[in-house]
Structures are given as structure tokens and as C-alpha cells.
């Protein structure tokens, strides 16, 4: 099998965790006698520094020609601390999502039995939690065309816009995931206040007719935020709009004990992007301490989906579980005095593939 993989390492710890995922991918490539080509490309703050554009045209063309995109992280404090910056790394991420048609973000939230004590929640609350968050990715307030500030600078405004087509597309994805799991779908909105949320609820109700086996529950976003913490095991598949999904999926990530454990896939019209859910963690960049497991597990999702190799994905998941059970982990989830470096974890995973 020959496949093309675009490699967008990005900023901060992105290059370090992507490097470990590539070690694992190359080990799989060798084990299964496949042939992959890897094409690096710039995105985020590093792309701004070198080209002035957080998502250069060259990067886009590389992604368009790829079977899958492995992505690290973007973000840099010098842009975060400058509210007047006209170009930001995050604009590159939004541009990539829009141009590649990355309409649905899939974030699995699962717990590892040997790490439950690392969760901020009590064991009896978190044990057995296993759900998928599906977030619409190319619409909503992040992409509203009418935005800005008044001339005197004292007011600012953004617009939240959704079409029925955008909602229907990601809703069908969510129902399909629910059909493959426990046949329960939770739709999160703010229909008591927002017109866009009422369109979401209406569209989901219409779509539900096509999936009579799936139990559908509607939760207002504030209630959902509480229930994800109070009873995470009740959820199976959650679907929601862009901003709500951004916030809730990060909230859900801490259930596992570390944001460095959770992968994601952004499913697109032209290609799909696989990335850890964590940010660029600039404080840890270059220190060889970042947890690479979320990026490695994102590679597993890539094998299972875009590359059509579920056996390879399972092998990666199994070796990650072994590394956790045997304590071959970074400082964020290690027991006191027993931490391994980022590169050590990557080497161990690749060797044990």
C-alpha cells in the first residue's frame, strides 16, 4: 500500500509530539510492508514568521494531495498577548478547516483503568466513561462574516450563522457513530435563547426519523457542562455546534487525567486531519517533557479511517495501553520520580510495535 501523509508539526510542542507519532507510523509501515511518503508543511506561528501567512497556499496544496494530514499544534504567546495583532496562528487553523472542508471533529473520551486515580473526579464517577464528542467545525460564530468593533472601539460584535445543510451533514455523522456504539445521541444546544440552536434542534429532530433505533436526548449547553462532570458515564455520542464543542470537549478531556491522552480526527470533504486535542504548550516546548500519546493515538485514528488499516490502528492502541500500564509515560501522568522523556516514550512505542 502506498499513501501520502502531510505532516504539519506547527508550533510549541507540536514538532516534538509529531516526531514520536512518526516513529510509530514508520514502525507500522515496516511491519506491514507499506510505503508512505511524508511531506512536511508550515502552519501557525512558524508559518507567519517564514511566509507571513498562518496557512500558506503551498501548505494547502500539500494537504489537498495527501491521503491524510498529521497535525501537531499551533499557538504562540507573543500573539496571545497582543490583542491588536492582525495575523494570528489560530487563523491558520480556521483557514485549514474551511479550505479542506473539515466539517466534523471527532473526539473520543475514554479512561484508562491504570490512570483513573489521575482524574480530578472521584473514581466512582469516572470509571467506565467512554463517549465521543462530535463538533461541527466549519460554521458558527468562529466563521461569522459580520464581525468587528465600532469606530470608537467601545463595542465589539461577532455573528453566529448556521445553514441547515451544515447542521444536517454533521448530524448524520453523529447518528452513524451512535448506530455503531450504544445507540444513544445527546444533542447540545442553547435553544431557549439562540435562533441558530433552534435550527439545530429542528434539524436533529428531522434527522432522527431516519435512525429510529437511536435514543435522542437534548441538553442545553450549561446543563450539559454540569452533567459531563457529574455523570460522564451516561454519555455515548454527543453532537454540538462549533463553539460549544470547542469548550465542552476540552472540559471532557480532563476526565482522563491529562489532555495529553486524547486524540481527534477532523473529517473533511477533501482529506482528513488527525491531531491531539491539546494546545501548543509553549512553556514545555523544547524540554522533551510533552506527552506524545494523544498524537500517537491520533495516528491510530488515521490508520483506522483515512488509511483503511484498522489492524494497524489496533496495534497502536494496544502498545499505548501497554506503555501506560507499564509506566512508560511522561511526567504529566507518571508516578513521582518515574517519568520518561517525550522521545523515550516514542522510542519505546516504536520498538514495541
Please identify every residue annotated as catalytic: 142, 190, 222, 246, 250
3-state secondary structure at position 307: coil
Query: Smallest Cα–Cα separation from 158: which of 176, 177, 173, 143?
Result: 143
- Among 191, 199, 133, 129, CA closest to 163: 199
Contact at 8 Å (CB) between 287 and 330? no
Query: CA-to-CA distance for 91 and 112, rounded, in angstroms?
Result: 34
Distance CA 40, CA 44 (A): 13
Q: Cell 483557514, residue?
A: 95
* Residues 6 or more apart in contact with residue 306 via CB below 8 angstroms: 67, 68, 271, 272, 274
Please, which residues bridge with residue 185 across strands? 216, 237
Q: Report the chain's terminal Cα–Cα distance, integer Å.
A: 18
The set of residues, in sequence order, having a beta carbon less than 8 Å from that of 272 and lying 6+ positions away, is 68, 69, 102, 265, 266, 302, 305, 306
Name residue, grid cell 504567546: 77
CA distance 103 to 172: 12
CB burial class (10 A; 0-12, 13-18, 19+) of residue 124? exposed
Q: How far apart are CA 73 and CA 290, in angstroms?
A: 12
The sign of the dihedral angle between the CA atoms of 78, 82, 87, 90 is: positive
Amino acid at each position: 500500500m502506498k499513501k501520502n501523509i502531510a505532516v504539519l508539526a506547527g508550533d510549541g510542542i507540536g514538532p516534538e509530539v509529531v516526531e514520536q507519532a512518526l516513529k510509530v507510523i514508520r514502525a507500522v509501515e515496516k511491519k506491514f510492508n507499506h510505503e508512505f511518503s511524508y511531506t512536511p508543511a508550515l502552519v501557525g506561528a512558524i508559518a507567519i514568521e517564514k511566509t507571513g501567512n498562518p496557512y500558506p497556499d503551498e501548505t494547502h496544496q500539500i494537504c489537498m494531495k495527501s491521503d491524510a494530514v498529521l497535525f501537531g499544534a499551533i499557538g504562540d504567546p507573543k500573539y496571545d498577548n497582543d490583542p491588536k495583532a492582525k495575523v494570528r496562528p489560530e487563523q491558520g487553523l480556521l483557514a485549514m478547516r474551511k479550505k479542506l472542508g473539515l466539517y466534523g471533529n471527532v473526539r473520543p473520551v475514554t479512561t484508562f483503568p491504570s490512570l483513573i486515580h489521575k482524574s480530578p473526579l472521584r473514581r466512582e464517577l469516572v470509571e467506565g466513561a467512554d463517549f465521543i464528542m462530535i463538533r461541527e467545525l466549519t460554521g458558527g460564530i468562529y466563521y461569522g462574516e459580520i464581525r468587528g468593533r465600532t469606530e470608537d472601539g467601545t463595542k465589539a460584535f461577532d455573528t453566529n450563522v448556521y445553514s441547515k445543510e451544515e447542521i444536517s451533514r454533521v448530524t448524520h455523522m453523529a447518528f452513524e457513530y451512535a448506530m455503531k456504539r450504544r445507540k444513544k445521541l445527546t444533542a447540545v444546544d442553547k435553544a431557549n435563547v439562540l435562533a441558530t440552536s433552534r435550527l439545530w434542534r429542528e434539524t436533529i429532530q428531522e434527522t432522527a426519523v431516519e435512525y429510529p433505533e437511536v435514543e435522542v436526548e437534548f441538553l442545553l449547553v450549561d446543563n450539559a457542562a454540569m452533567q459531563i462532570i457529574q455523570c460522564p458515564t451516561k454519555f455515548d455520542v454527543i453532537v454540538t455546534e462549533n463553539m460549544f464543542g470547542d469548550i465542552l470537549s476540552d472540559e471532557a478531556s480532563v476526565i482522563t487525567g491529562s489532555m495529553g491522552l486524547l486524540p481527534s480526527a477532523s473529517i473533511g470533504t477533501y482529506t482528513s486531519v488527525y491531531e491531539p486535542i491539546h494546545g501548543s504548550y509553549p512553556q514545555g516546548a523544547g524540554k522533551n517533557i510533552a506527552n506524545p500519546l494523544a498524537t500517537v493515538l491520533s495516528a491510530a485514528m488515521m490508520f483506522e479511517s483515512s488509511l483503511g488499516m484498522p489492524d494497524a490502528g489496533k496495534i497502536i492502541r494496544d502498545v499505548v495501553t501497554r506503555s501506560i500500564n507499564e509506566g512508560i509515560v511522561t511526567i504529566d501522568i507518571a508516578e513521582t520520580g518515574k517519568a520518561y522523556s517525550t522521545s523515550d516514550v516514542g522510542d519505546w512505542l516504536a520498538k514495541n510495535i
